[in-house]
Amino acid sequence: MAKRLLKGAEAIGEAAIAAGCKAYFCYPITPQTEVAEYLARRMPESGGAFLQAESEIGAANMLFGAAATGARVFTTSSSPGISLMQEAISYITAAQLPVVFVNIIRSGPGLGGILPAQSDYFQATRGGGHGDYRTIVLAPATIQEAVDMTMDAFDLADKYRNPVMVVGDGLIGQMMEPVEFPENYKPRTVDSSSWRTDGARGREPHLIKTLYLDPQQCDDLNNVLAKKYETITANEQKWEDWHQDEDYEVLVVSYGTMSRICKTAIEDLAEEGLKVGLLRPISLYPFPYDAVARAAVKDHVNTVISIEMSMGQMVEDVEMAVQGKKPVKFFGRAVGIVPTPEEVATAIRDLGRS
């Protein structure tokens, strides 16, 4: 298929439709309202439902109900909106339903600002809601990846009957880049007939619930979930190794649009003679601990730096990966001011030497 020049927000919307999404529930919030605008037109055209709810809480609980029917459903929002959905995300996870969330992170906390940030890393990867649960988290660095990962997100949600979150920032939402949609795409849907609530004609009713007053049932659920997360951890780690064929002295770990800036900085540093490798986590949960460990423990590495548009969140995962074998440092800003390649290069130079 020929490439099309699309804005990130539109590309995400179109990807959801291509993945067979049948319902989109939302509440507008900058900087991703364009997804809603786009889908207000496109969902009905494609035979799906578009609904702007009364609030993010309403939207999230509509996702809960709609997913229970076995349909592919999703929403997009931005940081404060995603915070309002935390209770529902915990419920959806407990009910083992497939729902895709896209968070175009804005700078926080509070209302903050609309400029790019990565400061919802903890919320996404540790679960901002209550209880022992996880959501699979994918972090695209380009519009093409935003398309591909949105489509993958639906497949993963189906496969594991678990929420999947795609996290980007304002750049992902607002940039235009050429994208390609796969031809003859077939979503890897999973047969939901054993659990979905689509009318119990000729069979026993399916009950979807999250209340388990019997401790043993609650225990059972938590063990099922824990096993699921083990499987996800074993199978779904994704990352990119970049520039690692060289004997890099510094390993940078960075994801999303931040990693693109790091690549420019690393190329600049290479010209100066400082060899820097990059490991880009693509799945933030499950975090690619082993890949980071492998890339970090090599003899030629003397420092590992987590570079984030947040004040030090992914660095904890990096530390857990590196297990004290190399010094782990951090460079980041939470501000909504995207660091320039020059700033990043300076930070790598300084931290790599110290």
Residue 298 binds a second copy, judged by CB under 8 A: no
Q: How far apart are CA 168 and CA 187, in angstroms?
A: 22
> Rule CB under 8 A: is residue 111 a binding residue for a second copy?
yes
**Is residue 123 part of the contact set for a second copy (CB under 8 A)?**
yes
Give the end-to-end CA distance of the chain in Å, rounded to a whole number.
Answer: 49
- Chain centroid to CA 340: 23
Cβ atoms of 112 and 79 within 8 Å: the answer is: yes
Binding to a second copy by residue 333, rule CB under 8 A?
A: yes
Q: Which of 4, 182, 226, 298 binds a second copy (CB under 8 A)?
A: 226
CB 167 within 8 Å of CB 124: yes
Q: In terms of CB distance, is 122 or 185 closer to a second copy? A: 122
Find the shortest distance in angstroms from Cβ 83 to a second copy: 4
- Using the contact rule CB under 8 A, the part of the chain among 4-12, 66-74, 80-88, 248-256 near a second copy is 80-88
Between 270 and 337, name the residue whose CB sits nearer to a second copy: 337
Q: Which residue has the tokens 């290069």?
A: 345
Candidates 176-184, 257-265, 278-286, 317-325; binding stretch for a second copy (CB under 8 A): 317-325
Q: Which of 45, 219, 247, 350 binds a second copy (CB under 8 A)?
A: 219
- Which of residues 18, 28, 71, 95 is near a second copy by CB under 8 A? 95
DSSP letter assigned to residue 185? -
By CB under 8 A, name the one of 201, 209, 271, 273 that touches a second copy: 209
Beta partners for 52? 26
Q: Encoding tokens for residue 31?
A: 């900087």
Which tokens go with 198? 């689509």
Q: What track of x and - describes contact with a second copy for positions 182 through 201 (by CB under 8 A)?
A: --------------------
Applying CB under 8 A, which of residues 189, 197, 210, 264 lies at the interface with a second copy? 210
Q: How far is the CB of 311 from a second copy (least distance, A)?
A: 4
Question: Hey, is 42 helix, strand or coil?
Answer: helix
Nearer to a second copy, 215 or 273 (CB): 215
* 274: contact with a second copy by CB under 8 A: no
**DSSP H or E run through 352:** helix 341-353
Distance of closest approach, residue 30 Cβ to a second copy, in angstroms: 10
Among 32, 33, 76, 119, binds a second copy (CB under 8 A): 119
Q: Would you count residue 313 as binding a second copy (CB under 8 A)?
A: yes
Q: Among 49-57, 180-188, 268-276, 346-354, which window interacts with a second copy (CB under 8 A)?
A: 49-57
Q: What amino acid is encoded at 299 in this protein?
A: D
CB atoms near residue 43 (< 10 Å): 21
# residues near a second copy by CB under 8 A: 69
Among 311, 341, 343, 349, binds a second copy (CB under 8 A): 311
Instruction: Give exposure, 100-125, as e/b (b: 16+ Cβ within 10 Å).
Output: bbbbbbbbbeeebbbbbbbbbbebbb
Determine, following the binding rule CB under 8 A, whether residue 130 of this chain makes contact with a second copy. Answer: yes
Strand 276-281 versus strand 250-253 pairing type: parallel
Residue 57 binds a second copy, judged by CB under 8 A: yes
Distance (Å, whole) CA 174 – CA 31:
8
> 197 is written with which tokens?
């609530």
* The two structure tokens encoding residue 85: 């959905």
CA distances (Å), origin 19, targets 14, 29, 151, 158, 198: 9, 24, 5, 11, 21
Question: Regarding beta strands 176-179 and 4-7, do their DSSP bridges make them parallel or antiparallel, or are they unpaired?
Answer: antiparallel
- Name the residues that contact a second copy, by CB under 8 A: 49, 51, 53-54, 57-58, 79-80, 82-84, 86-87, 90-91, 93-95, 105, 107-115, 117, 119-120, 122-123, 126-133, 209-216, 218-219, 222, 225-226, 310-313, 316, 319-320, 323-325, 333-337
